[in-house]
Chain A
Amino acid sequence: MAAVTTEKVYGPQEPRSFNFLFGIVVRLAVLGLVNAVAFWLGYNLWRDGNTALGIVIVVIALGVTVINLWPSLWPLRWMSPGLALMALLAIYPIFYTVYVAFTNFSDGHRYTKAEAVALMSRTKVLAEGGTSYQWQVYSNEAGEYALWLTAEDGTTLFARPGQPVENVVANESGEGPYDESGAPATIDGFSLLTGGARFQALRDIQTIQFGTEEAPVGIKSRNEAGAFVSKWQFDADRNVLIDVENGTEYIPNEVTGDFVAASGATAPLGYWVPIGFQNFTRIFTSIAVSGPLIRVFLWTIAFAFLSVITSFAVGLMMALLLNGSGIRYKIIKSLLIIPYAVPGMISILIWRGMLNPNGGVITSTIANLTGYTVPWQTDAGWAKAGILLVNLWLSYPYFMLICSGALQSIPSSIYEAAEVDGANAWNKFWSLTLPLLLVAVGPLLIASFTYNFNNYLLIEAMFQGGPTMIGTNAPPVGHTDNLISYTFRFAFGAGGTRDFGFASAIAIIIFIMVGLLTLLQFRFTKRWEEVGDNV
Chain B
Amino acid sequence: MSSLITSDAGRLSATRDSDPRNYVRGIFTLARVIVIGLALVFTLFPVVWIISASFNPTGSMATQTLIPTNVKSSADLFINFTKLLNNPQVPFWNWIGNSLVVSVITTVLSLGITILAAYSFSRFRFRGRRSLLVTILLVQVFPNILAMVALYLMVLQIGQYIPFLGLNQHGGLIMVYLGGAMGVNTWLVKGFFDTIPKDIDESALVDGATHWQTFWYLVFPLVRPILAVAAMLAFVGTFNEFILARILLSDRQNWTLMVGLFNFVSAKFTDDWGVFAAGSLIAATPIVILYLSLQKYIVGGLTQGAVKG
Interface string of A339-361 (1 = CB under 8 A from B): 11111111101111110101111
- Bound Cα distance from A320 to B31, whole angstroms: 13
Residues in B1-25 with C-beta less than 8 Å from chain A: 2, 4-5, 7-15, 18-19
Q: Whole-angstrom distance between the alpha carbons of A39 and B74 in the complex?
A: 62
Which residue from chain B places its CB closest to the CB of A517 in the assembled complex? Answer: B141
The residue on A at minimum CB distance from B117 is: A79
Main secondary structure of the interface of A (DSSP, over half): helix
Alpha-carbon separation in the docked complex, A510 to B141 (Å): 12
Quick one: which of B35, B149, B158, B291 contacts A321, CB cutoff 8 A? B35
CB of A424 within 8 A of CB of B18, answer yes
For window 176-227 of B, CB contacts with A under 8 Å fall at: 176, 178-183, 186, 200, 203-204, 207-213, 217-218
A406 to B300, CA, bound (A): 11
Residue A90 contacts which of B46, B139, B288, B309 (CB distance < 8 angstroms)? B139
The reply to whether B126 and A75 contact each other, CB–CB distance below 8 Å, is: yes
- In the complex, A93 has a CB within 8 A of chain B: yes
Is B243 positioned at the interface, with any CB of A under 8 Å from its CB? yes
- CB–CB B12/A407 < 8 A: yes
Q: Would A338 and B288 count as touching, CB distance under 8 A?
A: yes
Beyond A349-B265, A358-B62, A404-B4, is A93–B10 a contact (Cβ under 8 Å)? no
Which residues 294-340 of A sit at the B interface, judged by CB distance below 8 A? 314, 317-318, 320-325, 330, 332-340
Which of the residues B15, B150, B240 comes within 8 Å of A96, measured between beta carbons? Answer: B150
Given the complex of chains A and B, what is the CA–CA distance between A11 and B277 in angstroms? 59
Which residues 478-533 of A have a CB within 8 angstroms of B? Answer: 484, 487-488, 491-492, 500, 503-504, 507, 510-511, 514-515, 518
Indicate if the CB atoms of A336 and B5 lie closer than 8 Å.
Answer: no
Q: How far is the CA of A74 from the CA of B138 in the complex (A)?
A: 24
CB pair B11–A409 under 8 Å, yes or no, is no
Q: Is the Cβ of B2 less than 8 Å from the Cβ of A405?
A: yes
Q: Is B98 an interface residue (CB 8 A)?
A: no
A378 within 8 A of B: no
Closest B residue, CB atoms, query A348:
B262
List residues of B (265-309) whose CB comes within 8 Å of A's CBs.
Answer: 265-266, 269-270, 273, 276-277, 280, 283-284, 287-288, 290-292, 295, 299, 302-303, 305, 307-309
Cα A16 to Cα B208 with chains together (Å): 10
Residue among A74, A93, A325, A361 with most chain B CB within 10 A: A93
Is B240 in contact with A345, judged by CB distance below 8 angstroms? yes
Q: Are A105 and B153 in contact (CB under 8 A)?
A: yes
B168 within 8 A of A: no
CA–CA, A410 and B4, complex, Å: 11
State how many angstroms separate the Cβ of A525 from the closest Cβ of chain B: 9
Q: Which interface class (under 10, 10 to 19, 20 to 34, 35 or more) fits A?
A: 35 or more
The answer, among A48, A81, A341, for a CB contact under 8 Å with B160, is A48
Asked whether A358 and B270 contact (CB < 8 A) given A318-B39, A343-B258, A343-B284, the answer is yes
Q: A345-B258, A404-B4, A448-B307 are in contact. Are A350 and B269 (CB under 8 A)?
A: no
A514-B146 in contact (CB<8A):
yes
Whether A402 contacts B145 by the Cβ 8 Å rule is: no
Q: How far is the CA of A491 from the CA of B212 in the complex (A)?
A: 46
**Is B120 engaged at the interface, CB distance under 8 Å to the other chain?**
yes
Contact pattern, A 70-86, Cβ under 8 Å of B = 1, otherwise 0: 00001111110111011
What is the bound-complex CA distance between A149 and B283, given in angstroms?
Answer: 59
Taking the complex as formed, is B85 at the interface, i.e. its CB lies under 8 A from any CB of chain A?
Answer: no
Report if A55 contacts B (CB, 8 A): no
CA–CA, A393 and B138, complex, Å = 30
- Supposing A343-B284, A404-B5 touch, asked if A90 and B62 sit within 8 A by C-beta, the answer is no
Nearest A residue to B213, CB-CB: A9
Interfacial chain A residues near B280, Cβ < 8 Å: 346, 349-350
A332 to B33, CA, bound (A): 12
Selecting from A135-143, A193-201, A451-459, the interface stretch reads A451-459
**Contact between B39 and A341 (Cβ–Cβ < 8 Å)?**
no
Q: CB of B119 within 8 A of chain A? A: yes
Q: Which of B18, B141, B208, B209 has the most CB of A within 10 A?
A: B141
Interface residues of A in 341-385 (CB under 8 A from B): 341-347, 349-354, 356, 358-361, 364
Interface members, chain A 395-443 (any B CB < 8 Å)? 397-398, 401-402, 404-412, 415, 424-425, 428-429, 433, 440, 443
| Distance between Cα atoms of A78 and B115 in the complex (Å) | 9
Chain B minimum-CB-distance residue to A414: B10
- CA distance in complex: A40, B162 (Å): 10
Q: Could you say which residues of chain B place their CB within 8 Å of the CB of A76?
A: 120, 126
If A93-B154, A341-B292 touch, whether A78 touches B119 (CB-CB below 8 Å) is: yes
Given A358-B61, A408-B10 in contact, is the A100-B157 Cβ separation under 8 Å?
Answer: no
Given the known A-B contacts A85-B179, A356-B269, are A90 and B144 also in contact in the complex, defined by CB atoms under 8 Å? Answer: yes
Give the residues in chain B near A321, CB-CB below 8 Å. Answer: 32, 35-36
Q: How far is the CB of B37 from chain A (nearest CB, A)?
A: 10
Q: How far apart are B208's CB and chain A's nearest CB, in angstroms?
A: 6
Taking A2-B200, A398-B302 as contacts, is the C-beta distance between A361 and B149 under 8 angstroms?
Answer: no
Q: Mark A96-132, 1 if CB is under 8 A from B, else 0.
A: 1100100001000010000100000000000000000
B154 interface neighbour in A53, A345, A456, A492, Cβ under 8 Å: A53
User: Contact between A79 and B120 (Cβ–Cβ < 8 Å)?
Assistant: yes
User: Are B117 and A425 in contact, with the CB atoms below 8 A?
Assistant: no
Q: Which residues of A contact B15 (CB under 8 A)?
A: 320, 425
Assess the B116–A81 pair: CB atoms within 8 A: yes
Distance in Å: Cβ of A422 to nearest Cβ of chain B: 11
A79 near B262 (CB under 8 angstroms)? no
Chain B residue nearest to A400 in the complex (CB): B39
Contacts of A85 in B (CB 8 A): 113, 178-179, 181-182
Contact between A320 and B182, CB atoms less than 8 A apart:
no
Smallest Cβ-Cβ distance to A101: which chain B residue:
B149
CB-defined contacts of B288 to chain A, threshold 8 Å:
338, 341-342
* Complex: A243 Cα to B247 Cα, angstroms: 34
Chain B residues within 8 Å of A16, by CB: 208, 210
B residues less than 8 Å from A341 (CB atoms): 287-288, 290-292
Which residues of chain A are near B175, meaning CB under 8 Å? 89
Tell me, in angstroms, the Cα distance from A507 to B287 when the chains sit together: 32
At the interface, yes or no: B26 with Cβ under 8 Å from chain A?
no
Complex Cα–Cα for A9 and B205 (A):
12
Q: Let me know if B242 is at the binding interface, CB within 8 A.
A: yes
Chain B residues with CB below 8 A from A393, complex form: 42-43, 46
A359: contacting residue among B152, B270, B308, CB under 8 A: B270
- Tell me the complex Cα distance, A337–B299, Å: 11
Judge whether B147 is part of the interface by a CB distance below 8 angstroms: yes
Tell me, rounded to whole Å, the shortest Cβ–Cβ distance linking A349 to chain B: 5
Given A323-B11, A405-B4, A484-B145, check contact A457 B287 (CB 8 Å): no
Q: Are A5 and B46 in contact (CB under 8 A)?
A: no
- In the assembled complex, A91 has its CB within 8 A of some CB on chain B: yes
**A408 lies within 8 A of B4 (CB):** yes
Q: Are B11 and A412 within 8 A (Cβ)?
A: yes
Q: Mark A20-54, 1 if CB is under 8 A from B, else 0.
A: 10010000000000000000110011001010010
Between-chain CB contacts (< 8 Å), 12 pairs: A40-B161, A76-B120, A96-B154, A105-B153, A318-B39, A343-B240, A343-B284, A349-B262, A350-B277, A350-B280, A359-B63, A514-B142
10 new A-B contacts, CB < 8 A, other than A346-B284, A397-B43, are A16-B210, A79-B132, A86-B179, A96-B150, A105-B153, A332-B40, A353-B269, A500-B149, A507-B148, A514-B146
User: Would you list the 5 A-B pairs with minimal beta carbon distance, nearest first?
Assistant: A89-B179, A359-B62, A405-B4, A341-B291, A79-B117
